[in-house]
Amino acid sequence: MKELYKLSVGLTLVSDVYNKAVELAKRRGIFWPSYEIYGGIAGLYDIGPVGTIIKNKIVKLWRKHFIGSTAGMVVEVETPMITPEKVFEASGHLKNFTDPVVQCNKCHKVYRADHLVEEILHKSFESFTADQLNSVIKENGIKCPSCSGDLGDVRYFNLLFETTIGPYTGERGFLRPETAQGMFTAFKRVYESYRQRLPVGIAQIGRVARNEISPRQGLVRMREFSIMEVEFFMDPKDESVPLEGIENVKVNVLKAQTKEQGRQDLDSFTIRELVDEKIVIHPWMAYWMARASQFVSDLGINEFYFEEKLPQERAHYSKQTFDQIAIVGGEKVEISGHAYRGDYDLSGHSRVSGQDLSVFKKYDKPMVVKKKSVIVNRQKISSLPEAKDIMKRISNATVEEVEEMLKKNVTVGSVPISSVVSIIEREEKVSGEKFFPHVVEPSFGVERSLYLVVVNSYRERKDRVILSLPKDLAPYDVAVFPLLEKGEIVNKAKDIYLNLSKRFDVLYDEGGSIGKRYARADEIGVPFDITVDPQSIDDSTVTIRDRDSWDQVRVKMDSLVDSLEKLFNGIELSTLGEKASSNE
């Protein structure tokens, strides 16, 4: 059953939380604009010490969902950022990886044309052509927002970063804008060295670069960033997809059809329904959308839907695309893309490289096929003056075309072709067929995921900030604090730190007031704090404090590992010991 519900379109913009989260990120070493001391460069960000740990945990979680739990179906590779021109000729990026730009005739400022008109007219102009955007600018009398000067013509700008491979007159090359081409060019090697059977997914996590025209949405649109993606190669005729365990996963979908009707309603489907009702072009699309749903939920982001792109909104290589849109801090942000690339890339690389990238599918048992061939009566034709012309006609034609000529009784000069040419049919045994595997591609941005996780986890409580990260993503599992800088207390705290470090990621901090240390730990999302106080010396107990509730309980030191294990398994803090009075 489909259930319909409306997403409130006029969401209150609480982008304030984005600004606050960015401030927190700078203050606590999560991320900040790169080259700050030189004024920064738009679209480039440093990931700080705390951010790097959280980022690595996001990547680890992604690997679990997209590689680890696929029973060996997906393998991971690493391929270079620097890419020769031929690759992007075959992939279509040289021609198609463009955005429309417009320049002010007076102050020479450059704008991304569709974004500029969008900002002024408050309507989406995604997928408008340069000509269409030109008309929109003229009709609405749009001027340069910066100096009110006239705007020039809208042109296309290619987003590939160009470079030279080798010195002086080296080969023309580019930084990759996606990791995908590395998997396509390595496909044959992986296929042959691995299992030599389909399906097989090739995953890659790596840096990419896009020369964005005017990046301005923080870590959402960057000029250099990391991608985690899978190119999943499969036989399009084989629809047996393992949906066990995921078929009842529910997803909300904004269908292209709904958008065409000018509506934004979401339909709810199970993964099984996406397949059965043919909402997806192939069952594997639904499989990866289920994985993506589980991954994004594990990031702590529970509000999201899949938006099907209209044909004109899709990338040049895609036959069907769903963007996974997360709703974080009241804003809709694309967190992943799911493209059905078909055989676009493998056939393109076969054509340009001259290498056969198709695979051979052996049938279970050989098939008998009827094969027609053209037979020429050589003896009869050799005596004809028209022989050369007749041979020319038929050697350029397919069997079917020759058959058609015979049916229509085509003549060359006055000679009917049928007098010297005939078609015979033979049975032949065929053991298999060659074809290009089709590709389904789920793709995530790493820094964008980090950004959304941070914004989504941002909380305020009594003028203080808490980063309420999912426990698996916290930079540290637990912090250990000696209440006072007294020898005995410090020694005990250090013992606890060393002991817990064997099992957990532990932060040790003895500087400043305990309240400040709690606040710092809360701001980077540490779920639990252990405090060693004077009572610890007397009765070998410590307090455990919960990041989100600030509640504290007192537990025996020798059951600390056990208590923490229980907390990470979701057991309530209050069940572990006596409530302790707060020492904040």
Contacts with Zn ion, residue ranges (CB under 5 A): 104, 106-107, 109, 144, 146-147, 149
150 vs 276, beta carbon nearer Zn ion: 150
Locate 512 and state its tokens: 């400043």
Give the nearest distance from C-beta 226 to Zn ion in angstroms.
35
What's the min distance (Å) between Cβ of 216 and Zn ion? 17
Q: Which of these, 450, 560, 551, 464, lies nearest to 504 by C-alpha position?
A: 560
Q: Which is nearer to Zn ion, 147 or 375 (CB)?
A: 147
User: Residue 80, preceding bond cis, omega within 30 degrees?
Assistant: no
* Euclidean distance between CA atoms 562 and 499, whole angstroms: 12
| Residue 106 beta carbon to Zn ion: minimum distance, rounded to whole angstroms | 5
Q: Which of 20, 27, 29, 71 is nearest to 195 (CA)?
A: 71
**Is the separation of the CB atoms in 256 and 322 below 8 Å?**
no
Q: Please state the closest distance from residue 104 (CB atom) to Zn ion, in A.
A: 3
Q: Which is nearer to Zn ion, 104 or 357 (CB)?
A: 104
Q: Which is nearer to Zn ion, 141 or 570 (CB)?
A: 141
Q: Which is nearer to Zn ion, 151 or 376 (CB)?
A: 151
Burial class for 541, CB neighbours closer than 10 Å (0-12, 13-18, 19+): buried
In the complex, minimum distance from the CB of residue 110 to Zn ion, in angstroms, rounded to a whole number = 10
Q: Which residue, 84 or 149, has its beta carbon nearer to Zn ion?
A: 149
Instruction: Give the pairing of strands 528-532 and 478-482.
Output: parallel
Q: Biggest alpha carbon distance in the chain?
A: 118
- Token readout for 2 is 């489909």
CB 561 within 8 A of CB 501: no
In the chain, the N- to C-terminal Cα span, in Å, equals 52
Distance, in Å, from the CA atom of 439 to the CA atom of 342, rounded to the nearest integer, reads 5
Residue ranges of alpha helices (H) inside 83-186 are 85-91, 93-96, 113-121, 130-139, 180-185
73/425 Cα distance (integer angstroms):
42
Nearest approach in angstroms of CB 293 to Zn ion is 45
Is the Cβ of residue 106 or residue 272 nearer to Zn ion in the bound state? 106
When the beta carbons of 107 and 498 are compared against Zn ion, the nearer one is 107
Closest CB to Zn ion among residues 106, 520: 106
H/E run at residue 389: helix 387-395
Shortest Cβ 111–Zn ion spacing (Å): 9
Residue 122 CB, nearest approach to Zn ion (Å): 21
Dihedral (CA of 191, 193, 195, 197) sign: positive
* DSSP string for residues in 341-370: EETHHHHHHHHHH-----EEEEEEEEEEEE
In the bound state with Zn ion, the residue whose beta carbon lies nearer, of 105 and 540, is: 105
Q: Closest CB to Zn ion among 151 and 249?
A: 151
Shortest distance, position 151 Cβ to Zn ion, whole Å:
8
Instruction: Report, in Å, the least distance between residue 107 CB and Zn ion.
Output: 3
Instruction: Tell me whether residue 106 or residue 566 sits nearer to Zn ion (CB atom).
Output: 106
One-character DSSP codes across 407-432:
HTT-EETTEEGGGTEEEEEEEEEEEE
Closest distance of CB 40 from Zn ion, Å? 22
Whether the CB-CB separation of 228 and 446 falls below 8 Å is answered with: yes
- Contacts (Cβ under 8 Å, ≥6 apart) of 95: 316
DSSP 510-564: -SS-HHHHHHHHHHTT-SEEEEE-HHHHHHSEEEEEETTT--EEEEEGGGHHHHH
Provide the minimum distance between the beta carbon of 454 and Zn ion in the complex, in angstroms, as a whole number.
Answer: 35
